[in-house]
C-alpha cells in the first residue's frame, strides 16, 4: 500500500464513508427507475409478435403481390368479397390452387366439383383470372396468407364508445409524475448529505458555525422602508389587474378547445395523408349556414372495405392496434358485421362533442364565407389537415370577425350579384377594392339578431 494513503487514513475513511452513502442513494434510485420502466419495456416486446414462416415461398414478395392483386377482395383472416385465405392450403391441393388462381372461371366451366361448390357458396361472384402469375409467385402468396395471425397487441387506453374518457396518456403521465417526485426526493437527500458532509469538514478544520447570527431579518428591513412598500404595492395591483382583465376577456372564449371524441377520428390521416376533400364530408358548408358533421353512412362508403390501417399509419403515440380498435367502434356504432359483410340493424348514435360554437345572439353563415367570399376553411379553422385531434384554432370573438372584415376584400369579379352595388360603393368610398367592412360587414344587425 502506498505510504501517503496511510498517512491520511482517517481523512480518507471519512471521505469514502460519505461518498458511499451518496452512491447508495444514487444506486437505489437507479434500481427503482429500472423497476418502474421494466413493465413498460416488457409490454413493448410483447407487442411485436414473432412472424412464423410456414411453407417454402417468400413471404415479403407474397405480401406485395397479395396487396396489389388480391387485397381488393380477400383478407387473410376475415371474409370479404372472397373467403379468408388463411388456411386455404389445407382446404385444397397446391395443384388445384395453381389452376384456380390462374383461371377460376375455366375450372367452374370445366365442371370441377370443388370449384363449383365455392362458386355457388359465394353467390356466383366470379374471381378475376391471373394467368400472368407463375407457380413461384403463387407459392409466395400462399406463404404470405399462411402466416398465422399475430396475437393482438395490447390496445392503448381503449375507452368504450361514448364514454368520452381519456383515450391516451393516462399511464405515461403517472410515470412521469412518479419520476419527478423521485428525482426531487433524491435531490433533497443528496443536498442533506452534502450539507452534513460540509459541516463535518468544517468541524474537522476547526471552524465554528454560528447558529444564530445577529442581523436584521429581511422582512423587518422591508417593513421599515416605505418607498419599497409603495413600489411593491403598485406592482402587485398592476399584475393582478392584468390577470383579472385577462380572465374576463377569456370568459366564453374557447380557443384551443380540444375535447376527446367518442371515436378517435384523425383529420391528419383523412384530410392530410389521404387527401380527402373537406367538402366530401362537410358537404353542407358550401350551400348552407352550417357545415355539419357527416353521418356515419358517409364513413361507410370507404370503411366497408377499410377495416384496419396500414402498418405505416401507426405512430409512436398511436399504435396500429389502437387505430384498428377505433374503426371497430365505428362498426359497432353503425351496426356493421365485418365477418358477414352486412348490417346487423343494431346501431347507436355517436355523440360527437361540438367544438366550435358561437353564442346564440351571433349569426354566422358558412356558405357566405366559403362559396361567396371564397375563404379557405383553413383561414378560420387552421391547419386541419395536420390535426390528429381536432381543436378550435381561432378565438371566434367579435374582434376576430371584425378584423377580418376590415382586412378582406370582397371578391366582386365575375359576381353579377355585386356589379351595381360595387359601383355605387366604390364611388362612395373612392376606392377600387371594397373590404367586407365597407360592404356593411361592421353593421351590428348583420351579425346580431
Ligand atoms: C374481384 C375479386 C377477387 C380478386 C381480385 C381475387 N379473388 Fe380470389 N376469390 C374471389 C371470390 C368471390 C372467391 C369465391 C369463389 C368464387 O365466387 O369464385 C374467391 C376464391 C378464392 C380462392 C378459393 C378459396 C377457398 O377458400 O376455397 C382462392 C385460393 C383465391 N380466391 C385466391 C386469390 C388470390 C391468390 C388472388 C390474388 C392473386 C385472388 N384470389 C384475387 C374474389 C377475388
Ligand atoms: C372523412 C370525413 C371528414 C373529412 C374529409 C373532413 N372532416 Fe372535419 N370532421 C369530420 C368528423 C367526423 C368530425 C367530428 C369529430 C371531430 O371533431 O374530430 C369533424 C370535425 C370538424 C370540425 C370541428 C367541428 C366542431 O365540432 O366544431 C372542423 C372545424 C372540421 N371538421 C373541419 C374540416 C376541414 C377544414 C376539413 C378539410 C381540410 C375537414 N374537416 C375534412 C369528418 C371529416
Ligand atoms: C374517402 C374514404 C374515407 C372516408 C369517407 C372515411 N375514411 Fe376513415 N379512413 C380512410 C383511410 C384511407 C384510412 C387510413 C387507412 C390507413 O392509413 O391504412 C382511414 C382510417 C380511419 C380510422 C383509423 C385512423 C383514425 O383516424 O383514427 C378511423 C377511426 C376512421 N378512418 C374513421 C372514420 C370515420 C368516423 C369516418 C366518417 C366520419 C371516416 N373514417 C370516413 C378512408 C376514409
Ligand atoms: C370565415 C371563417 C370560417 C370559414 C372560412 C369556415 N368556417 Fe367552419 N366555422 C366557423 C365558425 C365561426 C363556426 C361556428 C359556427 C356556429 O357556432 O354557429 C364554424 C363551425 C364549423 C363546424 C362545426 C359545425 C357547424 O356547422 O357549426 C364545422 C364542421 C366547420 N365549421 C367546417 C368548416 C369547413 C369544412 C370549412 C371549409 C369548407 C369551413 N368550416 C370554413 C368559421 C369558418
Ligand atoms: C377570414 C376572414 C373572415 C372572418 C374571420 C369572418 N368573416 Fe364574415 N365575411 C368575410 C368576407 C370576405 C365577407 C364578404 C362576403 C361577401 O362577398 O358577401 C364576409 C361577410 C360576412 C357577412 C355578410 C355581411 C354583409 O354585408 O352582408 C356576415 C353576417 C359575416 N361575414 C359574419 C361573420 C361573423 C359572425 C364572423 C365571426 C364569427 C365572421 N364573419 C368572420 C370574411 C370573414
Ligand atoms: C362581423 C360580425 C359582428 C358584427 C358586425 C358585430 N358583432 Fe357583436 N359579436 C359578434 C360575435 C361573433 C360575438 C360573440 C363573441 C364571443 O362569443 O366572444 C359578438 C358579441 C357581442 C357582444 C357580447 C359581448 C362579447 O364581446 O362577447 C356585444 C355586446 C356585441 N357583440 C355588440 C355589438 C354591437 C353593438 C355591434 C355594432 C357596432 C356589433 N356587436 C357588431 C359578431 C359581430
| Cβ pair 290, 367 in contact under 8 A | no
What is the structure's pLDDT at 168?
A: 41
- With the most atoms of ligand 6 within 8 angstroms of its CB, the residue from 364, 392, 398 to mutate is 398
Return the ligand number nearest the Cα of 146.
Answer: 1
Q: Is 354 in the pocket of ligand 2 (CB under 6 A)?
A: yes
Closest CA to 293 of 337, 356, 241: 356
Closest C-alpha residue for ligand 5 atom 15: 373
**How many angstroms does the Cα of residue 403 sit away from the middle of ligand 5?**
10
Smallest CA separation from ligand 5 atom 37, residue: 401
Q: What is the mean pLDDT of each run of 10 residues along the chain (449 residues)?
A: 44 46 52 48 39 65 87 82 87 91 88 88 84 90 86 46 38 79 91 87 76 68 84 93 83 78 93 91 84 89 88 85 91 88 86 90 89 87 92 90 85 67 74 75 85
CA distance linking residue 388 with residue 401, whole number of Å: 26
Counting atoms of ligand 5 from 1, which one is nearest the CA of 396? 38
State in Å: Cα 239 to ligand 6 middle: 28
d(Cα 159, Cα 447) in Å, to the nearest integer?
Answer: 40
pLDDT of residue 414: 65
Closest to 21 (Cα-Cα) out of 199, 190, 200: 190
Q: Out of 64, 82, 96, give the residue to mutate to test ligand 1, the one with the largest number of ligand atoms within 8 Å of its CB.
A: 82
- Spacing, Cα 446 to ligand 6 middle (Å): 10
Q: How far is the CA of 269 from the centre of ligand 3 (A)?
A: 7
Ligand closest to CA 368: 5
Distance CA 66, CA 54 (A): 17
Q: How far apart are CA 100 and CA 115, in angstroms?
A: 8
Number of the ligand closest to the Cα of 377: 4
CB 333 within 8 A of CB 347: yes
Structure confidence at residue 423 (pLDDT): 73
Which atom of ligand 1 lies nearest, measured to the CA of 105? 18
Whether ligand 5 lies within 6 angstroms of the CB of 375 is answered as: yes
Atom 12 of ligand 6 has which residue's CA nearest to it?
A: 398
Q: How far is the CA of 257 from the centre of ligand 6 (A)?
A: 21
Question: Is 440 a pocket residue for ligand 5 (Cβ < 6 Å)?
Answer: yes
Q: What's the confidence (pLDDT) of residue 172?
A: 66
Taking the CA of residue 370 as reference, the ligand 4 atom at the shortest distance is 5
Q: Which of 51, 48, 47, 46 is nearest to 148 (CA)?
A: 51
- pLDDT at residue number 413: 66
**Pocket test residue of 274, 280, 282, 364 for ligand 2, highest count of atoms within 8 A of CB:** 282
Pocket of ligand 3 (CB under 6 A): 263-266, 269-270, 274, 276, 281, 294, 298-299, 301-303, 306, 309-310, 313, 323, 326-327, 330
Supply the pLDDT for residue 39: 43
Expressed in angstroms and rounded, the spacing between residue 281 Cα and the centre of ligand 5 is 23
Burial 316-337 (b: 16+ CB within 10 A, else e): eebbbbbbbbbbbbbbbbbebe
Cβ contacts of 249 within 8 Å, gap of 6 or more: none
List the residue whose alpha carbon is closest to atom 23 of ligand 6.
398
* CA of 212 relative to ligand 3 center, distance in Å: 71
| CB of 144 shorter than 6 A to ligand 1 | no
Give CA 357 to chain center in angstroms.
23
Amino acid at each position: 500500500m502506498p505510504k501517503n494513503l496511510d498517512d491520511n487514513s482517517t481523512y480518507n475513511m471519512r471521505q469514502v464513508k460519505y461518498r458511499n452513502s451518496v452512491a447508495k442513494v444514487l444506486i437505489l434510485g437507479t434500481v427503482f427507475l429500472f423497476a418502474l420502466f421494466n413493465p413498460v419495456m416488457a409490454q413493448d416486446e410483447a407487442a411485436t409478435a414473432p412472424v412464423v414462416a410456414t411453407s417454402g415461398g417468400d413471404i415479403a414478395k407474397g405480401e406485395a403481390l397479395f396487396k396489389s392483386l388480391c387485397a381488393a377482395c380477400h383478407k387473410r383472416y376475415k371474409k370479404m368479397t372472397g373467403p379468408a385465405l388463411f388456411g386455404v392450403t389445407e382446404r385444397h391441393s397446391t395443384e388445384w390452387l395453381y389452376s384456380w388462381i390462374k383461371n377460376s372461371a375455366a375450372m367452374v366451366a370445366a365442371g370441377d366439383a370443388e370449384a363449383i361448390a365455392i362458386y355457388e357458396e359465394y353467390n356466383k361472384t366470379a374471381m378475376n383470372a391471373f394467368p400472368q402469375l407463375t407457380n413461384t409467385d403463387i407459392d409466395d402468396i400462399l406463404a404470405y396468407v399462411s402466416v398465422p395471425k399475430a396475437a393482438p397487441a395490447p390496445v392503448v387506453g381503449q375507452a368504450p364508445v361514448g364514454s368520452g374518457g381519456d383515450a391516451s396518456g393516462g399511464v405515461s403521465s403517472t410515470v412521469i409524475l412518479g419520476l419527478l417526485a423521485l428525482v426531487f426526493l433524491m435531490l433533497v437527500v443528496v443536498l442533506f448529505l452534502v450539507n452534513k458532509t460540509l459541516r463535518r469538514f468544517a468541524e474537522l478544520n476547526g471552524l465554528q458555525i454560528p447558529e444564530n447570527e445577529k442581523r436584521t431579518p429581511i422582512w423587518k428591513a422591508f417593513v421599515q422602508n416605505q418607498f419599497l412598500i409603495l413600489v411593491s404595492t403598485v406592482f402587485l395591483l398592476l399584475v393582478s389587474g392584468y390577470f383579472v382583465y385577462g380572465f374576463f376577456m377569456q370568459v366564453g372564449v374557447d380557443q384551443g378547445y380540444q375535447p376527446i371524441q367518442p371515436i378517435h377520428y384523425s383529420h391528419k390521416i383523412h384530410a392530410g395523408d389521404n387527401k380527402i376533400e373537406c367538402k366530401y364530408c362537410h358537404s353542407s358548408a358550401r350551400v348552407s349556414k352550417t357545415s355539419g358533421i357527416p353521418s356515419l353512412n358517409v364513413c361507410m362508403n370507404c370503411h366497408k372495405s377499410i377495416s384496419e390501417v396500414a402498418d405505416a399509419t401507426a405512430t409512436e403515440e398511436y399504435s396500429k392496434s389502437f387505430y384498428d380498435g377505433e374503426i371497430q367502434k365505428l362498426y359497432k356504432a353503425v351496426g356493421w358485421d365485418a365477418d358477414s359483410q352486412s348490417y346487423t340493424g343494431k346501431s347507436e348514435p355517436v355523440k360527437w362533442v361540438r367544438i366550435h360554437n358561437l353564442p346564440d345572439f351571433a349569426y354566422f353563415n358558412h356558405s357566405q364565407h366559403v362559396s361567396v367570399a371564397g375563404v379557405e376553411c383553413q383561414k378560420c379553422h387552421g391547419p386541419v389537415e395536420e390535426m390528429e385531434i381536432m381543436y378550435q384554432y381561432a378565438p371566434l370573438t367579435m374582434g376576430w370577425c371584425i378584423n377580418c372584415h376590415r382586412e378582406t376584400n370582397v371578391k366582386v369579379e365575375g359576381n353579377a350579384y355585386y356589379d351595381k352595388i360595387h359601383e355605387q360603393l366604390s364611388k362612395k368610398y373612392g376606392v377600387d377594392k371594397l373590404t367586407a367592412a365597407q360592404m356593411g360587414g361592421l353593421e351590428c344587425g348583420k351579425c346580431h339578431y
